Structure 1
Amino acid sequence: MQRGSILGYDLNESFCQISYYDEKKEEPETLETAVDNYQIPLLLGYHNDRWVYGKEAKRLLVIREGEVIPDLYQRAMHREKIRIAEKDHDAVWLLAKYISLTLQEFEEIEEITFTVPDTDIDVSKMLKGIGRHLGIPKEHVNVLDYKESFCQYMFYQPKELWQYESALFYCDAQEIRAYMLRKLNTVTGLGKDLFVTVDEVASAKMKELAAIYPVLNVDKAKDADEQFKSFIQNVFDKKVISSVFLTGEGFENNWYPNSLKVLCNGRRAFLGNNLYSKGACYTSMRKCFSYDEGPIYLDETKMTEQICLRMRVGGQEGWYPIVAWGTHWYEADGQWEVILEDTSDIEIHIETLTGEELQVETVSLEGLPERRDYSLRIQIDVMFLDEVTCRLSFRDVGFGDFFPATDFCAEKIIKLGGIHGQFNSMS
């Protein structure tokens, strides 16, 4: 594998940041734009018949030369048209141009994970489409929100750092937000999988932060330190915290010495601004190396049900998921080919994490031609019509030159519980 082929890409309204898998160290490294500076301003400019980005585009903005596009991420989300050099451009195309410029020094990309503050079906489709525009197959483009990136980052840290709950504090010029990584209790008897989530547990607007960021005001800093200390104590009340992570530009000035004493009391604390891109890179590593072990991240947008078929994989027979819990419904479509032993019917198991009984469905294979064992090859297509409706299709695709495909096709519609109310029942 070539250097720079496995990436994590942090993208928000202000900047991007790129972490890549370093084969020698066998862990992510973050691309530096300057000494200890990883952030590339989210600015795209056009000057002298040339596209520029980041700091060069920011310089054009300062000296008022050329054309510079602000608010590019939001404008792409709203599918705006932007006029540059007397030509209308789609904002999504411009965002793709910016991303391609930031990635131009990397070699052929094998896997990339975008992480953004919040994600949904529209964000996922846009970023996967940009990935395809860059020549990356959609199955090798992943999209996470920041909370899941934090979780993925923690999976690769020493276990003692998330033995109990782990806290993340984000601070910008006006607000502090607190998040907590915790383990979920699920129904017993569902295997050895460990499920975790990240909750936003508190937030506070602090007008003092505007005065101490980016220039330190001593009096305002003392007030902010006291408020932050009280905020931490409320967040930590009656909780056992293994580790604390501080991220965001608001923590760059050392205005919180008293708060830091509370944070570090009996636990380890870390400060840095590349946690999300590294978490995204770890996700790309898991995908690239087919590493399925480790905790499964869940939140209110993820499926708490999985659909399983009985199959023999690698010589081991068992119930294998064709739709796994912990995925978004709009990313769960898939296709498989299986060789049948028994031609009577196919049994489907729908397992849930929320305490309900196992749901069993069957698909009749009546009309499928009789063939000797191991010569019936079926293509299974999974397509979600919406968040609660899954359609399974079973087609005879023949067996090479020995048995041509027939027009046999069977379908099964499965109704799931959806995301509403399920996740909240897990504590």
Structure 2
Amino acid sequence: MIYGFDFTDNICYISSYDGDETKELPACPCPIEIEERMAFINDYRKDTQDAAVITVETLTKELVDAVEKEKNLTFLSKEEAFVEYVLQNEKGVWQRNTAVFEFHKGSFCFYAAGRRGKTIMTEKEDIMLPEKGLNSAREKDKFFTKWVAEKLNHRQISTVYLIGEEFEGEWMELSLASVCHGRRVFMGNHLFSTGAMLWKAKPLEKKDKVMTGDYHPYYWGIRAFHQGKKDVFVPIIQPGSLWFHTEGRIDVLMDECEELEIEGMHSISRQEMKLTMPLGLRQEHPTRTSKYRITMRCTGTKGMVAAVYDIGFGASRKGTGLIYQEEFKLP
């Protein structure tokens, strides 16, 4: 048996596959803490041979490490579960984008996925609910109508999924007409759990790379004299790794360098970024060549840190260590 688990607040949605049939099982209450959820899953599985895939908002190194010792347990981001569900259930969906609105008592979230060249890109946005809450059907309808217009208008989205218990009831009036205009709309609560289960049970041989928000999308590097050529882009980081596995470094020779410019480019949109690091080497080490180490790493899906270290120049001069460090955010 293979299970997909989607934990949302204190509710768990579960899908299963026994080798012949896919089932959406009744939702059930569940604990909040990750350790208690792991125990819940182990109790739910009849046999440790049963595989379980657990959806999470964002993958972290701690989560990946936590299941290394657990037999047949895997974490998968909701974005990747969403893509898997769509690929296996909507054969013609990639002619246009697909979107999900996820609405629970304490949260509202928007997802979208579509092809950019040979890459399937996803986006995710957590949207703040009003401080005073949504206390009537009219308030819910007005709130949802606003976000349907903001997220779907002027975009080629052909299919929309409405996920979550807050979509239940007959409160949608203006919003229903808006979301259904020229689109197919489906309601249900098991999209993420079924996508996670399918990811394990019926893995597709994907011709396209899936790039969710957990993967770093940028090239990073500097322009330098390299292998006899001027103004060569020397990479520090390549795109495509999970954010917590994304890091890189290069060693360079510099003298009298007042500032260092690190260039970044998004691998899909080609959006450019530049980070200027003031080093002041002319004043610190005039007319002296030294070796410097440039390091970069991700601190989160949207956070990075870059640093420059003076590592000296052979036996003639010892390095002084860290010269400059800067943390910055990605768009």
How high is the TM-score relative to the length of structure 2? 0.61
Deviation at 1:163, TM superposition (A): 2.1
Deviation at 1:243, TM superposition (A): 0.3
The amino acid across from 2:139 in the alignment is: D
* Aligned partner of 1:113 among 31, 53, 60: 53
Deviation per CA, 1:30-72, whole angstroms, max 9, x where unpaired? 22xxxxxx222114xxxxxxxxxxxxxxxxxxxxxxxxxxx43
Q: Is residue 205 from structure 1 mapped to residue 205 from structure 2 by the alignment?
A: no
The amino acid across from 2:63 in the alignment is: V
Which residue of 1 is the match for residue 190 of structure 2?
Answer: 274
SS in 2 for 1:246: strand
The amino acid across from 2:160 in the alignment is: V
The separation in 2 between residues aligned to 1:13 and 1:128, in whole angstroms, is: 25
Runs of 4+ deviating beyond 6 Å: 329-332
The separation in 2 between residues aligned to 1:145 and 1:72, in whole angstroms, is: 17
Deviation at 1:259, TM superposition (A): 0.9
Which residue of 2 is the match for residue 148 of structure 1?
Answer: 80
SS in 1 for 2:155: coil
The separation in 2 between residues aligned to 1:173 and 1:232, in whole angstroms, is: 18
Which residue of 2 is the match for residue 298 of structure 1?
Answer: 211
Q: Is residue 16 from structure 1 mapped to residue 4 from structure 2 by the alignment?
A: no
The separation in 2 between residues aligned to 1:21 and 1:10, in whole angstroms, is: 15
Query: For the Cα contact (< 8 Å) 1:7–1:281, is it kept in 2?
Result: yes
Query: For the Cα contact (< 8 Å) 2:122–2:213, is it kept in 1?
Result: no
Note closer, same or farther for the CA distance 1:251–1:127 as it changes in structure 2 (3 Å cut): farther
The amino acid across from 1:160 in the alignment is: G
The amino acid across from 2:6 in the alignment is: D
* Aligned partner of 1:236 among 152, 160, 168: 152
In structure 1, the gaps of 5 or more residues are: 32-37, 44-70, 74-91, 186-193, 212-219, 306-323, 333-351, 356-385, 389-419
Which residue of 2 is the match for residue 341 of structure 1?
Answer: none
The separation in 2 between residues aligned to 1:10 and 1:226, in whole angstroms, is: 28
Query: For the Cα contact (< 8 Å) 1:180–1:201, is it kept in 2?
Result: no
Deviation at 1:283, TM superposition (A): 0.8
Which residue of 1 is the match for residue 23 of structure 2?
Answer: 29
Which residue of 1 is the match for residue 201 of structure 2?
Answer: 285
Deviation at 1:167, TM superposition (A): 1.2
Q: Is residue 123 from structure 1 mapped to residue 63 from structure 2 by the alignment?
A: yes
Note closer, same or farther for the CA distance 1:12–1:121 as it changes in structure 2 (3 Å cut): farther
Which residue of 2 is the match for residue 226 of structure 1?
Answer: 142
The amino acid across from 2:112 in the alignment is: M
The amino acid across from 1:292 in the alignment is: E
Note closer, same or farther for the CA distance 1:286–1:294 as it changes in structure 2 (3 Å cut): farther
Deviation at 1:327, TM superposition (A): 5.2
Identical positions, percent: 21
The separation in 1 between residues aligned to 2:183 and 2:123, in whole angstroms, is: 20
In structure 2, the gaps of 5 or more residues are: 219-237, 247-265, 271-295, 299-326
Query: For the Cα contact (< 8 Å) 1:175–1:209, is it kept in 2?
Result: no
SS in 2 for 1:39: strand
Query: For the Cα contact (< 8 Å) 1:9–1:19, is it kept in 2?
Result: yes
Note closer, same or farther for the CA distance 1:300–1:169 as it changes in structure 2 (3 Å cut): closer
The amino acid across from 1:42 in the alignment is: C
SS in 2 for 1:159: coil
* Aligned partner of 2:102 among 151, 170, 175: 170
The amino acid across from 2:127 in the alignment is: S
Q: Please state which structure has a larger fraction of its residues in strand.
A: 2
The separation in 1 between residues aligned to 2:186 and 2:27, in whole angstroms, is: 19
* Aligned partner of 1:247 among 152, 163, 177: 163
The separation in 2 between residues aligned to 1:12 and 1:204, in whole angstroms, is: 16
The separation in 1 between residues aligned to 2:74 and 2:207, in whole angstroms, is: 18
The separation in 2 between residues aligned to 1:8 and 1:276, in whole angstroms, is: 8
Deviation at 1:387, TM superposition (A): 6.2
The separation in 2 between residues aligned to 1:330 and 1:201, in whole angstroms, is: 20
* Aligned partner of 1:99 among 35, 41, 51: 41
The amino acid across from 1:123 in the alignment is: L
